[in-house]
Structure 1
Amino acid sequence: MPGTASTSTTVGPLPSLAAQAERLSELGMPELAGIPADEMRAFAEGAGGDRTDALLVVHPDRAPASALAPLLRRDGKPGFVVVDMPDVDRFAPVDIGLPEAPLYLVTGIDRGDDKADWSPEEALPALTEEDRSPLLLTEGIHWVLQQPRALERNRCFMTIGSRLRKANGGFDARTPAIWISNGTGRDGRERRNAPKVGWCWWGNRHTWLGFASATGRESV
């Protein structure tokens, strides 16, 4: 397969589930998703409040990508969605066993640095063969909210678990990703170094984009 033999990256242990629940509360997630802060805390405790091997995620039906992206911060600058992706919330889970619950856990997250310079078309079957599931865009945003160092310049990632299905049953060739803006073009200079939700073509390769994935998802 294409690409260099770089190492996959888990970016170290996550904050505890209890700490993640508090972080979501501080970000205003109870108001955004309609889930009381006490309910988030109770879910985290019920799942094992001290656990650092799982990401606490709000279901995308409750907290879409367009609402989550501005919560991201880097160098004091808020995250944003590129202007040519006004349909970002229509990118939905594809062949993902997503729990039907307002809150769930994602386990075994990896940034997929080993697949940098692969195309989404090449990476998806490889992840499937490894028994890994690609992250959804909203899951990727949750990850960076809880663990900002997951997003590094030249070490960013795609979230190809989210796809946009067209009216004819096929898929839009755009695939979502999260990276760091250079402040060029329509991003604007004021957004240099800000976290950015954008897209890349299904068949294109990028040396600075891995493919974030997980080993599983679970509800309590």
Structure 2
Amino acid sequence: MAETPLPTDPPADTAATPVLPPLAEQAEHLVGLGLLPAGGTLDADAVRRAARDLAAAAPTGSLLVVHPRHLPPSLLAAHLRRSVRTRGGIVERPGFVVEDMTDVDEFAPVDGLDVPDVDVWAVRAPDRGDDLADASPEEAAAAIAARARTPLTLAEGVHWVLQAPGVLEPNRCFMTIGSRLRRADGTFDARTPALWISGGTGRDGTERRGAAKIGWCWWRNRHTWLGFASTAGRVAR
């Protein structure tokens, strides 16, 4: 039996995701993490200036991204905060990278992706890709391309959750297939990065239940609860 082709246009009733604050506010949030020291290769004032310049060209709802050479996913992971209801009340849990992804920062943009080689850029109209859930990454890549969009990289996905924690919802999370790990022989590792909510089972530990989680799935596997994040384009200074 032939497979049903994936839609080339997102449905009109795609679930709304949290609205991103203005780029200047996103810059202040990044600065507030204390990860951009004065005198570094990229300091707080440089990020503020970049956000101000990008605001003149990037549409409302764009996402501010700092290049992972300055803020790698492994560094930002613990700053992905989610409020979780427990028996003792509401607690704020930090995010984390799964234990078997020690090479998380080596996942780089795939060939042909229009990621600017600049310190700071803006991602236009990020979308979680809920309607592509239950597709494999391989299938979703073709559907995203047919929509004249490109998949988010892992670094972009991490920034999105950092700025809008509510973008991760139970049964509505996403993969970032714009990043993959290339082996020494030139082929791709079959793991594909994703962000979702920990169930607190297995090696995650119950103390991480409800936390934002950076993990991976296989390139040809399908998951009903993972969409495929994409963008309408990127804006550089």
TM (normalized to structure 1)?
0.93
Give, as a single letter, the amino acid of the residue that structure 1 aligns with 2:22: S
Q: Alpha carbon RMSD of aligned pairs, Å?
A: 2.1
- 2:89 maps to what in 1? none
Higher radius of gyration, 1 or 2? 2
Distance 1:66 1:91, change over 3 A: same
Picking from 30, 54, 68, the partner of 2:62 is 54
Match of 2:77 in 1: 69
Q: Which residue number in structure 2 is paired with residue 164 of structure 1?
A: 181
1:21 corresponding residue in structure 2: 27
Identity, % of aligned pairs? 56
Describe the SS at the equivalent of 2:128: coil
Note if contact 2:153-2:177 (Cα within 8 Å) is conserved in structure 1.
yes
CA deviation map 1:144-200 (0-9, x unaligned): 111111111100000000000112211111000000000000001111001000000
Q: 2:88 corresponds to which residue?
A: none
Equivalent residue in structure 2 for 1:36, among 43, 58, 62: 43
The number of equivalent residue pairs is 220
Distance 1:154 1:54, change over 3 A: same
Alpha-carbon contact 1:117-1:205 (below 8 Å) kept:
yes
Paired letter, 2:102 = P
Large movers: runs of 4+ above 6 Å? 2-6
The Cα shift of 1:27 comes to 1.4
Q: Alignment partner of 2:194: what SS?
A: strand
User: What aligned pairs does 1:42-121 form with structure 2 within 5 A after superposition?
Assistant: 42-48=49-55, 52-75=60-83, 76-94=92-110, 95-121=112-138
More helix by share: 1
Q: Which runs of 5+ in 2 are unaligned?
A: 84-91
TM-score norm. by structure 2 comes to 0.87
